[in-house]
Amino acid sequence: MLNLLGQILTYIVPFLLVLTLVVTVHELGHYWVARAFGVKIDRFAIGFGRALFQRTDKRGVEWRIGWMPLGGYVKFSGDLDASSVPDQAGLDELKARIASEQGAHALTDYYHFKPVWQRMLIVAGGPFANFVLAIVIFTAIFTLLGDQIAPPRVAEVPSGTPGAAAGFRPNDLIVEVNGRPARSAQDVIRVVSLSSNTPVIFTVERNGQPLTLTAVPERTATEDAISGRVAVGRIGLPLVTRRDEVRFIRYNPVEAVGAAGRQTATVLETTLSYIGRIFSGRESGALLNGPLGIAKAAGGITSQATEGEAPASLKAINLALMLFQFAAILSIGIGFINLMPIPVLDGGHLVFYAYEAVARKPVAAVVQEAGYRVGLALLACLMLFATWNDLQKLNLFKFLGGLVS
């Protein structure tokens, strides 16, 4: 029982806290933009299923928390279907009903009768809020803690590795990777891990002189407490940093915002690069995570932050910082996914509204229905694929094989 409680506190609770924060901010993005345009809203919900908490405010909005905290939604008055994009017949029916019950003047309060550009901004408000959350978190961290520059040096060059084949030598200082500054070992790992079988150009400093080397990372199976078992690019070079070369940069609030924006852009760029390599067949997609993988990562972060002999207060601060950083990265990912042009996601709604803006009429009902079904199928396939990855990373199949062998 104690072990089960420990697992819940280590994995489930941090996962739900981080996910709830990201989802709440996403839905608030939709909500506040809709409020700014005077849209009538029926419900703001976090979680699904039976309500654990619900309250209706003076504007008539029901605020609701469901027992299953794995998502959320904003329900606008007059929503006819799950896609929230009715066709012309649905709009005409809704307009007639509202006009007969409340008068024609009430139409301006309803989401579906707002100008298309306003509806597009309301839809985009959710992903935009996710990016803003990431920037706010990174800004707070850069303002409070600054940034650490830890130049990566090659500790040793094992024979037979891609690094050895490229001509690296011990004590080489890696200055740039593919033309980007290498401020820490993580900057190197980020590029190399997503460049399996693809040449990576390094600028190194050797005995005070610049030198260009090209290495081709090999896809190698690795395992750590956060990601689990994954196969990523490696060049086989242990990296270290000299203590006398480590320096800290302090930012004022304005500089911190700029640094946070650059950090957010880097995460987005890495995500786009990885997705592009999947579609081009150069990556397997093994790094895509589902709920199990996210929970595993949250648990790994919790374990790392709380291990050691430090005082409990310092562990708590370290844990909070690491989970906030994790929330920022997850928020960027959720914002990006929601902008994908799949009908059941915000990006799909934007595609429908873009058509409406050009054609001056909503997408036909039959097209919306087909798109909605295809979108659900695509999301189901994506979730199944991500869950399969999660189970493989957790070595569940190997564990079950051991049970039946």
On whether the CB atoms of residues 226 and 302 are closer than 8 A, the answer is: no
DSSP state letter for 405? -
In a domain, 226, yes or no: yes
Rounded to whole angstroms, how far apart are CA atoms 96 and 101? 9
Other beta carbons within 10 angstroms of residue 81's beta carbon come to 13
Helices (H), 87-176: 88-102, 116-145, 162-166
Rounded to whole angstroms, how far apart are CA atoms 231 and 219? 6
Spans of the chain, pLDDT less than 70: 1-10, 79-88, 223-229, 280-281, 283-293, 295-299, 305, 308, 385-405
Q: Could you say which of 27, 62, 176, 356 is catalytic?
A: 27
Rounded to whole angstroms, how far apart are CA atoms 187 and 192? 9
In the structure encoding, which two tokens stand for residue 2, read together? 């104690």
Strand partners, 202: 177, 213
In a domain, 228, yes or no: yes
DSSP state letter for 372? H
284-287: Cβ within 8 A, 24+ apart:
284/231, 285/385, 285/389, 286/230, 286/231, 286/389, 286/392, 286/393, 287/227, 287/230, 287/232, 287/389
Rounded to whole angstroms, how far apart are CA atoms 29 and 136? 14
In a domain, 176, yes or no: yes
In a domain, 160, yes or no: yes
101 is a catalytic site residue:
no
Domain that holds residue 198: 149-249
The CATH number for 242's domain is 2.30.42.10
In a domain, 220, yes or no: yes
Query: What would the DSSP string read from start to end of 203-243?
Result: EEEETTEEEEEEE-PEEEEEEETTTEEEEEEE----EE--G
On whether the CB atoms of residues 340 and 375 are closer than 8 A, the answer is: no
Looking at the structure of the chain, the number of domains it has is 1
What pLDDT sits at residue 89?
72
In a domain, 221, yes or no: yes
**218-224 and 228-234 as β-strands: parallel, antiparallel, unpaired?**
antiparallel
On whether the CB atoms of residues 185 and 241 are closer than 8 A, the answer is: yes
In a domain, 194, yes or no: yes
The H or E element spanning position 71 is strand 62-76
In a domain, 334, yes or no: no
What pLDDT sits at residue 405?
35
